[in-house]
Structure 1
Amino acid sequence: MNQHFHALRVTDVIVETEDARSLVFDVPDDLAEEFRYRPGQFLTVHIPGAEHGSVTRCYSLSSSPHTADSLTVTVKRTPAGHGSDRLLGSVRVGSVVHVQPPTGRFTPASLDGDFLFLAAGSGITPVMSIIKSALAAGSGRLALIYANRDERSVIFGEQLAGLAAAHPDRLTVRHWLESRQGLPDAAGLRALAAPFRDRDAYVCGPGPFVAGVVDALAALGVPRERTHLEQFRPPNRTAFPDPPPGGDPSARTPRSVNGLQLVLP
């Protein structure tokens, strides 16, 4: 991985849910090639701090390189998450954030295939990048099974509903809400995934969710080589020297996303 950080200015902070924000970056022309990316990749972000020292964290890109999206990562605040809490608490429009160029292998070789996506919580972030890209530049059919605590915790809820409405013959979205259905289990996931068992599966979320999905897909006879995993792991706490500071925050108000109509099994 390229260890060189670049200073990118934040042009927007979008409120996705109560504990998730999307950070939109301006990429200067001279860095455009270095920040060219594939759907499903991530950025490594340097987060300075005094109490716990400087840390680096990896955040998936939710934007698509095949649409008019600006470079965007989506960050969800986690309990005792020094990185996410510090980042979301300090970054404003106009702030400068130091990031490494995109990397990651959770990305399809072609956007023309038929895909099944299974995500939980902020695991939707790289999946959203792939879905938008496949709809814009691919030709296949897509299905998403997305698990969350409740309606208020669904990231990109309105965007997903809009994409499904705009592409009814290509995108199917099914939500699993713990508040109504309990924790996702292999049997329930197997039933939802069964109609799409012939597709390549892309899975992203916390460890227990990923393990349940792997069991469900194996029971359906999906070959392991057609199951692609992006699993959340404990953060890398290696400290880096602080890059030069820069940028003054702006007082621009973030946008909010409200109101969901979820399709439940």
Structure 2
Amino acid sequence: MSQQIVEIDSYLLPVVEVVEETRDALTVVLSVPEELADQFDYKPGQFLTIAVPSDTHELAARCYSLSSSPHDGGPLRVTIKRTAEGYASNWIADNLKPGHHLRVLPPAGIFSPKDLDDDLLLFAGGSGVTPIMSITRTALSEGTGKIVVFYANRDEKSVIFRDEFNRLSVEHPDRLIVVHWLESVQGLPTQDQLKAFAAQYSTFDAFCCGPAPYMKSVSLALRELDFPRERRHQEKFVSLGGNPFGDGFSVDTAEYEVGAYDRDGA
């Protein structure tokens, strides 16, 4: 994702549900009015940029990947994990509730399969599973290829979408393989271990999202296996500079809009 800031139209979407996924991760479910359906048409693996009120004079604009599928007719879902120093993730977890609203930019990003019929090798680390889940859900629904997910977490309690992966595996036993790697049991996956795993799927298209060290190890493992560049994909967010929502959009506006409809009785 580029650091260049281009002002584009933003939209206020209602929060219809906040789902607790794990002890430190939640999914925010956003409803899209029918008249905005075209603006929020998206590809699996894309993200939303969200405006969050800040405790400083600067707006907190953060990018969160969509975990929903664009083909199931459901609402938008963004899955967010608290981070120790993450102002926005903690603000959302502590304050957001159904009936609130969020101002967002339309879906963006290129972390998406070109062909849903391709065989996919998907590496996820921690909350990096969010776009991986979107891709998995969509490819199983709309594609024909095989899907292998390697999902690394700190421990069993940290596994986001555990039940959903189990359900999908039961429904698609001939197409979906999900491998869980727990640091508490197996230690951190090494480059050699990742290489040995990926070697079984050398003809697949590979996608990776997670912490930087994890993504680096996966990238190096795939390079050693001579995965061509066009079949290696990584999702990487950078800090936003400035206010992508436009100079006229302030912290006060963001704070008001989040709960305005509650306060106004609407």
Q: TM-score when scaled to structure 1?
A: 0.89
Equivalent residue, structure 2, for 1:29: 34
Q: What percent of counterpart residues are identical?
A: 46
Equivalent residue, structure 2, for 1:42: 47
Equivalent residue, structure 2, for 1:208: 213
Equivalent residue for 2:147, pick from 142, 146, 152: 142
Q: Is 1:238–2:238 an aligned residue pair?
A: no
Q: Is 1:176–2:181 an aligned residue pair?
A: yes
Equivalent residue for 2:261, pick from 247, 253, 256: 247
User: Which whole-Å CA distance do the structure 2 matches of 1:156 and 1:145 have between them?
Assistant: 13
User: Which whole-Å CA distance do the structure 2 matches of 1:182 and 1:99 have between them?
Assistant: 38
- Aligned amino acid, residue 86 of structure 1: W
Equivalent residue, structure 1, for 2:14: 9
Q: Is 1:111–2:125 an aligned residue pair?
A: no
Could you say what secondary structure the match of 1:231 adopts? coil
Equivalent residue, structure 2, for 1:59: 64
Aligned pairs for 1:160-175 (under 5 A) are 160-175=165-180
The count of corresponding residues between Structure 1 and Structure 2 is 248
Could you say what secondary structure the match of 1:175 adopts? strand
Q: Deviations over 1:34-79 (max 9, x none)?
A: 0110111000000012346321000000000111321111011111
- Aligned amino acid, residue 8 of structure 1: L
Q: Is 1:73–2:78 an aligned residue pair?
A: yes
* Bigger fraction of residues in helix: 2
Instruction: Give how far 1:3 is off.
Output: 2.6
- Aligned amino acid, residue 37 of structure 1: Y
Runs of at least 5 residues in structure 2 that lack an aligned partner in the other structure: 1-5
The runs of 4+ residues in structure 1 deviating greater than 6 Å are none
Q: Deviations over 1:172-219 (max 9, x none)?
A: 000111101111210111122221111010111111101100111112
Could you say what secondary structure the match of 1:247 adopts? helix
- Aligned amino acid, residue 77 of structure 2: T
- In 2, are the aligned partners of 1:2 and 1:100 still within 8 Å (CA)? no
Q: Deviations over 1:142-186 (max 9, x none)?
A: 000010000000110110011011101000000111101111210
Q: TM-score when scaled to structure 2?
A: 0.89
CA RMSD between the two structures: 1.5
- Aligned amino acid, residue 108 of structure 1: P
- Aligned amino acid, residue 195 of structure 1: Q
User: Which whole-Å CA distance do the structure 1 matches of 2:174 and 2:116 have between them?
Assistant: 16
Q: Indicate the larger mover: 108-117 or 213-222.
A: 213-222
Q: Indicate the larger mover: 46-55 or 23-32.
A: 46-55
